[in-house]
Amino acid sequence: ANYQFVDWFGGTFRYSHEDHDSGDADRFTLALLFSLSQNLFLNVEFSHTELDSDDKEEFYIEGLFTF
């Protein structure tokens, strides 16, 4: 699901499920995209993965430049 709140701010929520021989994994991701200028964007993303054996969390910050 993706929603553009205003011109300079949008958000995305993703869910995925994977079946592996070693077990199942569910992944939830929330990404927030900010427009800093007409060509420069900042993406802040948090991801939580639930594995059969343990859980993992990841945090990303990404700068995007378009021309």
pLDDT tens-place string over residues 9-52: 999 999 999 887 777 888 999 999 999 999 999 999 999 998 87
Burial readout 35-61 (b: 16 or more C-beta within 10 A, e: otherwise): eeeeeebeeebeeebeeeeeeeeeeee
CA-based nearest residue to 26, from 42, 12, 47, 11: 47
DSSP H or E run through 12: strand 9-20
Taking the model in full, what pTM does it have?
A: 0.79
